Amino acid sequence: MKKVITYGTFDLLHWGHINLLKRARELGDYLVVALSTDEFNLLKHKSSYHKYEERKLILEAIRYVDEVVPEKEWEQKRNDISRYNIDTFVIGSDWEGEFDFLKDLCEVIYLPRTEGISTSKVKEDLSENGT
């Protein structure tokens, strides 16, 4: 069985997230999503509309996702790859080159982001519309 892992906050879920998860899952037989905890988001100076448990519940309902685990720190990626027997690490292309240090453990793939959508764009659009 070929296992794939990806990381993210996955707040305000949109079709770009679904595209990323679908493409990641197509690269293997089992997809693990390491979901940023609320505490880790604070360390990254990010805020989420939904709390970790709510975002986890949403991800677990998506058919492309087989398992959701907490992402608590930047440094856990090497351990996760070993712990979950990962063959492929997948992340958005805006991180190009940032995770090449994992190539000694598994394949690293940077997928293009879906054009025209991002959580930042959703937040901007909602702000502009006074929502």
The verdict on whether 72 is a catalytic residue reads no
Q: Choose the catalytic residue: 44, 51, 72, 121.
A: 44
Catalytic choice (2, 22, 46, 56): 46
Has 103 been annotated as catalytic? Answer: no
Q: DSSP letters of the chain?
A: --EEEEEE---S--HHHHHHHHHHHHTSSEEEEEEEPHHHHHHTT---SS-HHHHHHHHHTSTT--EEEEE--GGGHHHHHHHTT-SEEEEEGGGTTTTGGGTTTSEEEEEPPPTT--HHHHHHHHHHTT-
Q: Which residues are catalytic?
A: 44, 46
